[in-house]
A and B are shown apart, each in its own frame.
Chain A
């Protein structure tokens, strides 16, 4: 399969992640959408690495993306738990403490 097929899959995955972020009203779905988008970017990095003339730079970028995604997931889980303790809810639309 050529580069175009991988880029198409990556674009579709990015779009689905965007839909997950935009349409669901739950923090956990937003986190899932972010993970999908990061995965889509990773597919692009690796595909361009293989079909381009660079040595291994794309795969290195993908590894650092995965590392940052792991850190992000850990911190995000902690924040979600704290938000739940505070608001008894995980809906972003209900975390409106500053408004009061």
Chain B
């Protein structure tokens, strides 16, 4: 039983490694250095997500998710959204993942929860459906893409300043910005209220039972 688990694990990570190497090779051959960087970050993103689904232990899944978040941050850098990449790392890797780990640590482990049949069936079904959908969209859609993308470097590479101005300028996003602040305050106060231990939880049971 244990050795079969080990074999499955080897098979999965071997296949992931081979796929990753092939992806990096394709990226390098098709678009040079930027293609290689894209392939690496895409591999980090998708490989992390696959590992998260595959692993039996929730802790391992949570750490695999860190790869996904970091890879998405790398994709943001390649898309010239440097402020967003930093926010991604700060909030997702530093905040949301820590919260998830808290949830993991405060709940009991359940190694028998993963059903390989379910996971594989789900992968095949969802993969087939989204592959078909993607094929149809790619065949029929006409993106209104501008010939050359905006070159951020021409007008100062960092987008942080433009985002900050957009947040505070009256005719742009100031209302949404304030609303987001209100939502965050309400959500965090509500989270503390929901998660607090009631006094009745801590007292010994009264003779009601």
Structural contact, B113 and A79, CB atoms closer than 8 A: no
Structural contact, B166 and A19, CB atoms closer than 8 A: no
User: Number of residues in A with C-beta < 8 Å to the partner?
Assistant: 67
Known contacts A43-B75, A67-B183; A85/B201 CB under 8 A: yes
Structural contact, A8 and B134, CB atoms closer than 8 A: yes
Structural contact, A16 and B46, CB atoms closer than 8 A: yes
Assess whether B24 is interfacial by the CB under 8 Å rule.
no
Structural contact, B38 and A5, CB atoms closer than 8 A: yes
User: Number of residues in B with C-beta < 8 Å to the partner?
Assistant: 79
**CB-nearest residue of chain A to B180:** A67
Residues on B facing A (Cβ under 8 Å)? 27, 31, 34-35, 38, 42, 45-46, 49-50, 52-53, 58, 61-62, 65, 68-69, 72, 75-76, 78-81, 83-84, 87-88, 91-92, 95-96, 99-100, 102-104, 106-108, 110, 113-115, 118-119, 121-123, 126-127, 130, 133-134, 138, 143-146, 149-150, 159, 162-163, 166, 173, 176, 180, 183-184, 187-188, 190-192, 194-195, 201
A-B contact pairs, 15 of them (CB 8 A): A9-B46, A16-B50, A22-B122, A23-B119, A25-B115, A28-B100, A31-B103, A51-B145, A56-B166, A59-B83, A64-B180, A69-B91, A75-B190, A81-B103, A82-B195
